[in-house]
Amino acid sequence: MPFDFSALRRFPDVEAPNLQAWDATDELLVRWALESGIPGEQIAVIGDEYGAITLALADAGLTGIRVHQDLVTGRRALANNTVALGLAYRITDAGEPVRRVEPGHAAHAEAHPGSDTAFTAHELDPTLLQGARLVLLQLPKALAELEEIADAVARWAMPDVTLIAGGRVKHMTLAQNEVLARSFGSVQPQRAERKSRLIRASEPLAVPEEPPFPASRTHDGLTLCAFGGAFAGARLDIGTRVLLDAVRRLSLPVLEPRVVDLGCGTGALAAAFALTHPHAIVTATDRSASAVRSARATMRANGLEGRVDVTLDDAGSELPEGGFDLILLNPPFHLGASVHEGAGRRLIQAAARLTRPGGEVWTVFNSHLDHRRALTRDVGVTEQSVRTPKFTVTRSIRRG
């Protein structure tokens, strides 16, 4: 019986009629893997947004698949979909004990690997790729992220590894082939099917002694570090720069303000605030593992390691409600390749939940977006602080 992709959900990520949890690329990647005959324990899956590839392979009887997802929302969606399907899996977060979820249960429990384990979840590290002979990849948006992944596969997987990368044709470019060719001797685009295309990369090349990431760059005394999947890389994007100028001048009537950089990216706002407000208690959080790794590297580069707590989380879901004096927010307006305000609205709602009554939310956003209305509704009185031709910075006071 064919796997029912339509049964998969995106939850806890944004769900809408025009957003689904799989596409034709997932199906093509699954078909390639099943036709290859390679056992599950020699397969690694990267960029499986909500688990469509991993769970279809598990449904076909493969076990021991290794999977890496950058976004914690994707990881939670995969866990939810896995439990709904009644499969067992393990999570191997860096620095955390191996944990296993039994069929039908969402609670974590200690366990050892077993032959009935459908998949194990990993970070982008050697444990994901060592022994892998087939790597399935949903192509990322950023070329830097693709470069980091290709280097990792060539560096840690088996010498005879084949990387099958796929995407929607409208989002694919020749530059992606060029990036893959830096790490593989053979790069062969396949014929498009159902508006998706696969690229077969094999014959991994010798890699440099050190991985290419993180990259770093200094901006007016602030050093930013970035792994491949971090938005804007080590550059200071225009919106962050506009809010950063306001943050550096910000004064709060609290001796030790509790501050959150919500959706922190490379940690620019958190680092700048901590440097200019040495008594502040600062938390930086993002749903992207690449962003979190980048922000931690940024804190080390600026002498802030141990002073700024950097966490991987979805919209601050694990932070205390009403526990903070100030939220700094530069919300995204894309969900994957789709322009959608849902991700930004989720962060605005999270900011409202995290801020104490009388606390402040400082937000920067593209001026054409209707975020000011959402901030007024969800947080409280909102006023414009700065406006440039492209961006608006607002200050919102949390209503009691």
The pLDDT tens digits of the residues spanning 175-203 come to 999 999 999 999 999 999 999 999 999 99
Query: Whole-prediction pTM value?
Result: 0.89
Choice between 183 and 1, residue whose per-residue pLDDT is larger: 183
Q: Determine, yes or no, domain membership for 210.
A: no
Which residues have C-beta within 8 Å of that of residue 397, sequence separation ≥ 6? 358, 359, 360, 379, 380, 381, 382
Is 178 found in the same domain as 37? yes
| Residue 102 confidence (pLDDT) above 90 | no
Q: Are residues 39 and 14 in the same domain?
A: yes
Residues in CB range of 31: below 8 A, 6 or more apart? none
Q: Is residue 84 part of a domain?
A: yes
The share of the chain scoring above pLDDT 90, in percent, equals 76
**Assigned domain for 334 exists:** yes
- Residue 89 is predicted with a pLDDT of 61
In total, how many domains does the chain have?
2
If asked whether residues 335 and 192 sit together in one domain, one would say no
pLDDT classification of 333: cutoffs 50, 70, 90: low
Give 157 or 331, the one with higher predicted confidence.
157
Q: Are residues 27 and 172 in the same domain?
A: yes
Residues 6+ apart with CB under 8 A from 160: 133, 202
Q: Is 253 exposed, middle or buried (0-12, 13-18, 19+ CB in 10 A)?
A: exposed
Q: Return the pLDDT at 341.
A: 60
pLDDT at residue 383 tops 70: yes
CB contact set of 283 (below 8 Å; sequence gap of 6+): 258, 259, 260, 261, 270, 308, 309, 310, 311, 319, 324
CA 269-270-274 angle, 5° bins: 115
Residue type, 220: D
Q: What is the pLDDT of residue 334?
A: 47
pLDDT in tens, 248-279: 778 777 789 999 999 999 999 999 999 999 99
Residue 55 lies in a domain: yes
Whether 44 has a pLDDT exceeding 80, the answer reads: yes
Give me 377's structure tokens: 């509704």
> What are the residues whose beta carbons fall under 8 Å from the beta carbon of 79, sequence distance 6 or more?
89, 101, 106
Residue 268 lies in a domain: yes
State which amino acid sits at residue 7. A
How confident is the model over 38-66, as a mean pLDDT? 96
- Using the 3D structure, point to which of 182, 204, 226 is the last residue of a domain: 204
> Do 225 and 342 fall within a single domain?
yes
Provide the total of helices (H) and of strands (E) in the chain, helices listed first. 11, 21
Do 195 and 273 sit in the same domain of this protein?
A: no
Please tell me which residue, 101 or 333, carries the higher pLDDT value. 333
Q: Write down the pLDDT at residue 339.
A: 47
- The predicted pLDDT at position 245 comes to 86
Please write the tens of the pLDDT for every residue from 206-215.
Answer: 999 999 999 9
What's the mean pLDDT when you consider all of the chain? 89
| 238 and 195 assigned to the same domain | no
Q: Which domain holds residue 96?
A: 5-204
Which amino acid, 244? Answer: L
pLDDT in tens, 49-60: 999 999 999 999
- Band the pLDDT of 1: cuts 50, 70, 90: confident
Is residue 276 in some structural domain? Answer: yes
pLDDT for residue 105: 37
Query: In the predicted model, what is the mean pLDDT of residues 88-115?
Result: 40
Residues 31 and 111 in one domain: yes
* pLDDT of 240 higher than 60: yes
Q: Any idea what the CATH number is for the domain that residue 111 is in? A: 3.40.50.150
Choose the final residue of a domain: 204, 233, 256.
204
For the record, the structure tokens of 193 come out as: 């099917």
Shared domain check, 230 and 196: no
**Residue 153 and residue 234 in one domain:** no
Is residue 389 domain-resident? yes
The pLDDT assigned to 85 comes to: 82
Is the same domain home to 342 and 231? yes
Residue 209 lies in a domain: no
Residues 6+ apart with CB under 8 A from 83: 101, 103, 104, 105, 106
Instruction: Answer yes or no: do 128 and 231 share one domain.
Output: no
Q: What percent of the chain has pLDDT over 70?
A: 90
Boundary (domain end) residue, out of 204, 239, 274: 204
Read off the pLDDT of residues 106-124 as tens digits, 9 standing for 90 and up: 333 222 334 468 899 999 9
How far does the chain reach from its first CA to its final CA, in angstroms?
55
